[in-house]
Chain A
Amino acid sequence: MAEGLDFERLVACYYEPLYQFAFSLARDESDACDLTQQTFCIWAAKGHQLRDASKVKTWLFTTLHREFLGARRRQTRFPHIELEFAAAELPVVSPPTVNRLDAGQALEALARLDEIYQAPVALFYLQDCSYNEIAEILDVPLGTVKSRLTRGLGRLHQLLTGTTTQPQPPDL
């Protein structure tokens, strides 16, 4: 069924959200472009294997995320910085300001999150993905997604406002 999808129409529908997701992960325009393009290349080669056309969006985001993880494994230029160490360096945004965030501030805060929270939080805000979709894209159980979102969002808010929003549930 998916093979009937027109490539150009598919690109028109998804290149923007895919790029935004890629940029939120890679935080580099060139890398984000490459990831987006690579995702569509893979679609062109393997998309016909997808039987359920309704899963195209999930398939594309899953593929992009896998490509990102693969690329990151190949490179070593993403040092892992624990939030606890970095938090002290972050400027605290006052509550009135937090309501007027721009992309740079949002991404900077996202970048300060532990890596396992970044993808679910990006999908949460960027794409309005349902929890099930996020679980499918990241290939993790639904409970884990909710747990990571809760912790990730809590820390994001903490970073932006300097206050602890909520008690943190344990990661599943």
Chain B
Amino acid sequence: MNRDEAKTILLLYRPGTADADDPQIAGALALAKQDPDLTRWLAEHCARQEALRAGFRQITVPAGLKEQIISEQAAQEKVIFWRQRAVLAAAAVVAALTLVVLAPLWFPHRGNEDTFAIYRSRMVRVALQGYSMDLATNNPAQVRAYLAQNHAPADYVLPAPLKKTAVTGCAIEGWQGAKVSMICFRTGKPLPPGQQSDLWLFVIDRSTVKNAPPTGSLQFVQVNKLMTVTWTQGDKLYVLGMEGDEQTLRQYL
């Protein structure tokens, strides 16, 4: 290392810092100790370095800058806080509205779906709005056998008047995963063209339907065009319906 190279290296030297730990600078400093000219140059250089450092460090910081930074940050955090709250509130409102709108779709009246009133209405609708008999026969034994074969309620007990009424066939309906036996009768009154039955009995396991009438009671209710009567016997729930009034329907009980 010659003198010029040492000067180049020592340009980066700042007295009082860790610069002297740099191997190159340490070498140049060692050389400066042995070279009087370099020693003098180094002294001048260090003085200039100190002067420059001092000069730069005289840059004065505006009064209140620190407080301004802190207060503005605090204000910004408040804005962010309230903005987040607003966003959360808006999200909660949207979620609540979505829930209100979609809840009926997600949970379609599951709480009341399996109640007796709905069951009865559904069965009346089946009778009125069309059905196709799975088995058309005038033989009550065949009806019972067919239902038993298809795991629908078949051990039903018919009131004496109903036993004497002509059977036209049967169908198997569904309700909350359970099978409903639909037994079709004809009372003998004139029927519109294409209609084979005018009296229908629906039988289902009582445990499947909530709020079913208690054993021993007859419940007459007009549902749509049909007068219905409901009773419970054993483990079965019976709904009998026909067009007419209560008096007429009682003839079959």
Instruction: Name A's B-contacting residues (CB within 8 A).
Output: 7-8, 11-12, 15-16, 19-20, 23-24, 29, 33, 36-37, 40-41, 44, 95, 98-103, 105-107, 110, 122, 124-126, 128, 130-131, 146, 149-150, 153-154, 156-157, 160-161, 165-167, 169
> Distance (Å) between the CB of B123 and the closest chain A CB?
65
B113 at the interface (CB under 8 A from A): no
What's the interface size class on B, roughly? 35 or more
Query: Could you say which residues of chain B place their CB within 8 Å of the CB of A124?
Result: 12, 14
Contact indicator B68/A37 (Cβ below 8 Å): yes
Those 5 A-B pairs whose CB atoms lie nearest each other, nearest first? A106-B55, A101-B55, A103-B58, A125-B56, A20-B59
Q: How far is the CA of A100 from the CA of B17 in the complex (A)?
A: 21
With CB as the reference atom, state the residue of chain A lying closest to B50: A99
Do A102 and B11 touch (CB < 8 A)? no
Q: How far is the CB of B193 from chain A (nearest CB, A)?
A: 81
Chain B interface mostly? helix
Query: Is B160 at the interface (CB under 8 A from chain A)?
Result: no
Give every chain A residue within 8 A of B53 (Cβ-Cβ). 125-126, 128
> Complex Cα distance A103/B48, Å?
14
- Per-position binary interface string of chain B over residues 1-27, scored 1 when its CB falls under 8 Å from any chain A CB and 0 otherwise: 000100110011010011000100000
Instruction: Summarize A's interface: helix, strand, loop or mixed.
Output: helix
Q: Quick check: B8 and A11 within 8 Å, CB to CB?
A: no
With a cutoff of 8 Å between Cβ atoms, the chain A residues found around residue B60 in the complex are: 103
Query: Could you write out 7 A-B pairs with CB less than 8 Å apart?
Result: A20-B56, A23-B59, A33-B62, A98-B48, A99-B50, A102-B58, A153-B11
Partner of A150, one of B8, B44, B58, B61: B8
Nearest Cβ distance between residue B136 and chain A, in whole angstroms?
A: 78
Cβ of B100 under 8 Å from chain A: no
**B69 in the interface (beta carbon within 8 A):** yes
B54: CB under 8 A from chain A? yes
Q: Are A126 and B7 in contact (CB under 8 A)?
A: no
* Contacts A11-B69, A15-B65, A149-B12; A101 near B59 (Cβ below 8 A): no
Question: Closest CB-CB distance, B151 to chain A, in whole Å?
Answer: 65
Q: A103-B59, A128-B14, A131-B12 are in contact. Are A156 and B68 (CB under 8 A)?
A: no
Residue on B with the closest CB to A105?
B55
Q: Are B7 and A15 in contact, CB atoms less than 8 angstroms apart?
A: no
Asked if A102 and B55 make an inter-chain contact with CB atoms under 8 angstroms apart, the answer reads yes
Chain A residues with CB under 8 A of B12: 124, 131, 146, 149-150, 153
Question: Given A15-B65, A126-B57, A106–B52 Cβ distance below 8 Å?
Answer: yes
Residues in chain B near residue A156, CB distance under 8 A: 52
B56 engages A107 (CB within 8 Å): yes
Question: With A11-B66, A29-B62, A122-B56 known to touch, is A37 a contact of B72 (CB < 8 Å)?
Answer: yes
Q: Which residues does chain A contribute within 8 Å of B219, judged by CB atoms?
A: none
Kindly state whether residue B73 has any CB partner on chain A within 8 Å.
yes
A41-B73 contact given A29-B62, A166-B4, CB 8 Å threshold: yes
